[in-house]
Amino acid sequence: MKSNSSLSEEQIRKRSFDLLPKQIAFMEIPHGADTDICLYQGGVGSGKTTAGVLLGLMLAYTFPKSRGLVGARDYTLLRDTTRVKWEELVPGRLIESWSKDPDNLRLVNGSEIRFRHLSDPGRLLSSEFNWAHVEEASQITHKLFMILLSRLRYDIPGEAGAPKPVNRLFLTGNPEEDPGWLYEVFQDPEAPENVRFIQASTRENRFLLERQPEFVRMLENQFDEQSREVYIEGKTGHAQGQRVYAGFDRQKHLDRELSYRDDLPLHLSFDFNVDFMYCLVAQQWPQGVTALLDEVVLRGGCDTNDLCRAVLGNPTVAHHHGPVEVHGDASGYSRSHRGLESDYGTIRRWLSGYSQLTIHPVSGRANPPVKERTAAVRLSLQEIGRAPVMRVHPRCKALIKSLELTRWLQGTWRKQKVADPADRRFEIDHPGDALDYFIADRESASRRRVTIHGGF
């Protein structure tokens, strides 16, 4: 089979492709693990398919007699998009044969690339590969993803001691319209270093925009605001509603080096529910910096006693011996949690070992309106100079999810009840509520100090 490729064998040997920065990051391995798992998620025309094909071609050429898989949930997509790009890019002189049934490409160096639809995962169980590329990853299941990962164990025939390639599973595609398993796996703030996530915007593809300068403007005219986030910016979407905490950005606000300071009070902010109990562990640093250090999460069949026991077992809380300030839902004074004692009565009893304990929600006081307290959080997400006011340790996984996924109920200032993608029995808005209460209490205390000072 002939190829109309504009690439030469020399370009592939030297890997001298003219690539976009995100494509380079996708192809290069920045770690020493023996398996690399990467998702290239991007807007329309952001260079996803080209990056996937070039990476597969480079691996097949670099490691003779290797075996790769190119797959998609739907064979029509595979045939009309990914395979066409392979035909366009692979130099004809590198092709030994390309059969149609089965759809196998063999290169002159003995490497084989199998093109397969992935609608029947069982068909993969007898195959082994060095690498696999999945097109439109949002269309496959997490189970299939795990099966593919388990098949990356092909032993390339050759001389003993020959260099072994890194096993690679790379996925490309548009974002999920609603957060699902891709979000859980690839946007986990504590994912292993070899599980990589790359997000690309249509606006970044200079090659496309040189040819079609009005392409992005055309898309903007076709899509509403939510769809632009997904199909232009390449961000994981949500079916309805605007983000409550729109200012939160992992690149700006996550800080893996964030650490506890023993010279400052510890803040604990609670959200009480029947099936999801939550406590945020934080400190307020000088110059207005809010440090969100850790969280305690209990799911299903738990009460405030269980939560307090878990909070006292948290390493940061257990280490602390200074002042403790408690925040949370003001209704915790009047609503008991499976007992006669109020939630704050329970908390006061469990934390009685701290000589300087302050319960901030005043008995009988209503929570600030949702619009008001979330506005305080959004203000805290802004920057002073170039430094974010709020910093979040990646271990606060439930909070990060809440900040990213909580949406307004359409046309209201009420939060949607959105299921957790990892376990749909639980909702993800509760950690955000705990943060709301803490920031609202902090802002209220600040206003009180200003008022007292002004009175003098």
Provide the pLDDT for residue 313: 96
pLDDT over threshold 90, residue 340? no
Alpha carbon distance 22, 27 (integer Å): 9
> Residue 330's pLDDT is what?
80
Q: Is the pLDDT of residue 441 over 70?
A: yes
Preceding peptide of 163 cis, ω within 30°:
no
CA 241 to chain CA mean position, Å: 19
Top-confidence residue, 75 or 384: 75
Residue count of the chain, please give it.
456
CA distances from 372 to 68, 102, 171, 289, 367 (A): 54, 61, 41, 20, 10
Rounded to an integer, the average pLDDT of 156-175 is: 85
Mean pLDDT of the chain: 87
The answer, yes or no, to whether residue 450 has pLDDT greater than 60, is no
Calculated CA dihedral for residues 222, 172, 144, 34, nearest 10 degrees:
-160
Nearby residues of 158 by Cβ (< 8 Å), 6 or more positions away? 64, 65
- DSSP for 124-167 reads GTT---SEEEEESGGGS-HHHHHHHHHT------S-TTPPPPPE
Both tokens assigned to 314: 């948290």
Is residue 100 within 8 Å of residue 125, measured between CB atoms?
A: no
Condensed to tens digits (0 to 9), the pLDDT of residues 270-313 reads 998 878 899 999 999 987 889 999 999 998 878 899 999 999 99
| Per-residue pLDDT at 401 | 93
Report the range of poorest mean pLDDT among 2-6, 50-54, 410-414.
Answer: 2-6
Confidence (pTM) = 0.80
Contacts of 440 (CB under 8 A, 6+ apart): 367, 368, 372, 373, 376
Please tell me the predicted confidence (pLDDT) of residue 7: 72
Query: Can you tell me the distance from the alpha carbon of 407 to that of 421, in angstroms, rounded to the nearest whole number?
Result: 14
Higher pLDDT: 417 or 265? It is 265
Inform me whether the pLDDT recorded for 269 exceeds 90.
yes
pLDDT category at 448 given cuts 50, 70, 90 is very low
Of 76 and 267, the structure prediction assigns the larger pLDDT to 267
* Confidence (pLDDT) at 456: 21
At residue 331, does pLDDT exceed 50? yes
Q: Which two tokens stand for residue 299?
A: 């799911």
Q: Residue 240's pLDDT is what?
A: 58
pLDDT reading at 449 higher than 50: no
Query: How far, in Å, CA of 299 to CA of 425, rounded?
Result: 9
**CB–CB of 283/259 below 8 Å?**
no
* Model confidence band, residue 224 (pLDDT cutoffs 50, 70, 90): confident
Q: Rounded to whole angstroms, how far apart are CA atoms 237 and 404?
A: 10
Question: Cα(397)–Cα(402) distance, rounded to whole angstroms?
Answer: 9
In this predicted structure, what is the pLDDT of residue 216? 93
Q: Tell me the C-alpha distance between 390 and 213, whole Å.
A: 38
* DSSP structural state of residue 451: H
End-to-end CA distance of the chain: 88
Would the CA dihedral through 286, 291, 293, 294 be positive or negative?
positive
In the block, tokens 């604990």 appear at: 268
pLDDT for 452: 30
> Among 11-15, 35-39, 88-92, 113-117, which stretch is predicted with the lowest mean pLDDT?
11-15
The whole-number pLDDT of residue 137 equals 95
Cβ atoms of 335 and 272 within 8 Å: the answer is yes
Query: Residue 231 in 3-state DSSP?
Result: helix
Give me 5's structure tokens. 């490729």
pLDDT of residue 289: 87
In the chain, what percentage of residues exceed pLDDT 90?
57
The mean pLDDT of 19-35, rounded to a whole number, is 93
